[in-house]
Structure formats: C-alpha cells, structure tokens
C-alpha cells in the first residue's frame, strides 16, 4: 500500500524561507507532485519530481530523494498569500490515481 506523511501545520514569517517535508512509502514509485490549496478552493499544481534532485520554479523549489522516500517543498521570500495547504501526492506504477497526503497547513504571519 501507500503511506504519505507530512506535518499537519506550520507557521512562518513573511519574507522568510520555509521547508515542508513529505515522506512516502509506495511500491513502483512513479513521480511526486506538490499542490497548493487555498481554503475553499481547489488544488493548483506546483511541481513534479520523478528523478532525484532539486527542481526550481521561481520562489518555489521541490526536492526528491527516491532512495530515502523523501521530498520537500521550499518556499522562499514568503508572502501572506502563500498561506495555504500544501499537498504532497505520489504516483505509483500501475495505479491510475495519485495518493495524496493529508496536507500541511502553512500560516504566514507578518
């Protein structure tokens, strides 16, 4: 089966850097996705990692280590609008759907 763990809540200060971790266990790993979800809205796609290493996209970066079953999402120069839930989702070979973690609720404070 699949198991995905991420912290439930985090708080960080505007302008700072925050790292949201995700650990996973799955058979036939087929990529890891990060999504952002603001309260009352649907998730929006942020990043995709399938090979080890860092993928950078503006203020957001995502890292993957397949051997450790570990990923993180790094948010730089935090803005108030970054307050949202961040969902880690894992694909598995042979499975049509993604397996979502419970999400990390990030609160950015002034």
Partner 1 sequence: GAVVSQHPSRVICKSGTSVKIECRSLDFQATTMFWYRQFPKQSLMLMATSNEGSKATYEQGVEKDKFLINHASLTLSTLTVTSAHPEDSSFYICSARGHQSNQPQHFGDGTRLSIL
Chain residues binding partner 1 by CB under 8 A are: 30-31, 33, 35, 40-45, 48, 50, 87, 91, 93, 95-98, 100-103, 105
The distance of closest approach from Cβ of residue 105 to partner 1 in the complex, given in angstroms and rounded to an integer, is 8
Q: Find tokens 């790292």 and name the residue.
A: 19
Question: 92 Cβ partners below 8 Å, 6+ apart?
Answer: 2, 26, 27, 28, 29, 30, 99
Please say which residue, 10 or 95, places its beta carbon nearer to partner 1: 95
Task: Report the C-alpha gap between 59 and 42 in whole angstroms.
Answer: 21
Please say which residue, 48 or 60, places its beta carbon nearer to partner 1: 48
The distance of closest approach from Cβ of residue 20 to partner 1 in the complex, given in angstroms and rounded to an integer, is 14
Kindly tell me the sign of the dihedral angle through the C-alpha atoms of 22, 28, 34, 37: negative
Please say which residue, 13 or 30, places its beta carbon nearer to partner 1: 30
């Amino acid at each position: 089966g699949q198991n995905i763990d991420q912290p439930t809540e985090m708080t960080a200060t505007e302008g700072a850097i925050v790292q949201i971790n995700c650990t996973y266990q799955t058979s036939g790993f087929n990529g890891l996705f990060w999504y952002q979800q603001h309260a009352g809205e649907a998730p929006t796609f942020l990043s995709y990692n399938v090979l080890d290493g860092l993928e950078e996209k503006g203020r957001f970066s995502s890292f993957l280590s397949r051997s450790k079953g570990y990923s993180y999402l790094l948010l730089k120069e935090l803005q108030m609008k970054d307050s949202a839930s961040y969902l880690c989702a894992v694909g598995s070979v042979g499975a049509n759907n993604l397996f979502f973690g419970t999400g990390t609720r990030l609160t950015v404070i002034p």
